[in-house]
Amino acid sequence: MAGNNSNLGAAKRAKNDEFYTQLTDIEKELRHYRKHFKDTTVLCNCDDPFESNFFKFFVLNFTRLGLKKLIATCYEGSAVAEYRDGKAKPYKAVVTTVHDTTGDGGVDMEDVRNLFELGENELVELEGDGDFRSEECLALLDEADIVVTNPPFSLFREYVAVLMEHEKKFVIVGNKNAITYKEIFPLLKDDVVWLGCESPCEFFTPEGMTKKVNGLTRWFTNLDIKKRHEELILVKKYAGHEDEYPTYDNYDAIEVSKVADIPFDYDGVMGVPITFLDKYSPDQFEIIGCSLEIATPIKSVAKSNDVYQQGGNAFYIRTSEHQLRRLYDRIAIRNKHPEQPKEVQQ
């Protein structure tokens, strides 16, 4: 029955992957990257050209962004893949020109369809199933300068690994939890990848719209954006307020439970919530590690009826002699230029 189980697993995974991004979320994020797209080939490799708002965004802004080429490929497993226009298999769309074909003075999806029909742009069947790891899709990846999409959540690690291996620039949507994946966090820590500006919180699915979950996802990118160089304004002082910043029991750092409470005058290591990455500028802070990886394991020690909580993978704060409080994931950071507290004038 292993086959059945793995089929069920695959079906569940596929279901969790069918989240379609709203055009407004794409527009909100991509306005921060405008200058990067001029004269580039953009690839959307998890995108049915007739369904995806990524394709729609780029094709309708093709001239405005100064794109050289837009390529989109769709996947056989996609719930929306109907293989229209006589295509019996997943297809790729290759766009090199977008202009008014109807004489209405503007450009819309009707023009895009007409340009395929007129043969000015290409709409052709793929040889295989459109898997981003397939040879033909990797060849398209190599042709692209920038990859922009919302890839399948279940394959996020592998998807990013492929982009890194092929040295691609990208702007992609991922689950917020991906920040702490052991394959992803080192990229954030080493400033190879960073978070974008917005956080899409609602998606279309084959069953309708998802519930709005704030903070659900992030954009992950390696294209430079202004936000990355904007330093956080720090207003809290550590000196004289040490009791507001407890130290961890299993790591040499202080706990700063809210990003807004990061003190301006602390030069040691601080543990902050992972949402810190939304405000992170490598000009201001250094990332030391993630609690999941750097926390020292806690020993289990029984004494009378009290038992120390067990487990590593997290920072703990001692609340009494025999009690420890486990914290949510933390990122250990250090301020590169802590301010010296000003001397009080006599």
Ligand X SMILES: C[S@@+](CC[C@H](N)C(=O)[O-])C[C@H]1O[C@@H](n2cnc3c(N)ncnc32)[C@H](O)[C@@H]1O
User: According to the binding rule CB under 6 A, does residue 90 interact with ligand X?
Assistant: no
For ligand X, the binding residue among 18, 125, 244, 249 (CB under 6 A) is: 18
User: According to the binding rule CB under 6 A, does residue 248 interact with ligand X?
Assistant: no
Nearer to ligand X, 155 or 187 (CB): 155
For ligand X, the binding residue among 15, 28, 40, 77 (CB under 6 A) is: 77
User: According to the binding rule CB under 6 A, does residue 25 interact with ligand X?
Assistant: no
Nearer to ligand X, 149 or 221 (CB): 149
Are 37 and 68 in contact by the 8 Å Cβ rule? The answer is: no
Restricted to residues 153-212, the positions that interact with ligand X (CB under 6 A) are 155
Stretch near ligand X under the rule CB under 6 A, chosen from 63-71, 73-81, 118-126, 222-230: 73-81
User: According to the binding rule CB under 6 A, does residue 217 interact with ligand X?
Assistant: no
Nearest distance from C-beta of residue 154 to ligand X, angstroms: 8
Nearer to ligand X, 57 or 280 (CB): 57
Which pairs count as long-range contacts for 182-189, CB under 8 Å and 24+ apart, including other chains?
182/292, 182/293, 183/157, 184/156, 184/157, 184/160, 184/220, 185/290, 185/292, 185/293, 187/160, 188/277, 188/287, 189/287, 189/288, 189/289, 189/290
Burial of 194 (0-12, 13-18, 19+ CB in 10 A): buried
Restricted to residues 130-149, the positions that interact with ligand X (CB under 6 A) are 130-132, 149
Nearest distance from C-beta of residue 136 to ligand X, angstroms: 12
Are 17 and 205 in contact by the 8 Å Cβ rule? The answer is: no
3-state secondary structure of 134: coil
Stretch near ligand X under the rule CB under 6 A, chosen from 49-57, 205-213, 214-222, 306-314: 49-57
Are 68 and 85 in contact by the 8 Å Cβ rule? The answer is: no
3-state secondary structure of 58: helix
Nearer to ligand X, 204 or 264 (CB): 204
Whole-number Å distance between alpha carbons of 91 and 74: 6
Nearer to ligand X, 24 or 309 (CB): 24
Stretch near ligand X under the rule CB under 6 A, chosen from 27-35, 112-120, 128-136, 316-324: 128-136
Stretch near ligand X under the rule CB under 6 A, chosen from 45-53, 62-70, 163-171, 288-296: 45-53
Phi, psi of 303 (to 5 degrees): -145, 125
Structure tokens at 327: 């914290």
* Sign for the pseudo-dihedral over CA of 206, 132, 220, 16: positive
Where on the chain is the footprint of ligand X (CB under 6 A)?
17-21, 46-47, 52-54, 75, 77-78, 130-132, 149-152, 155
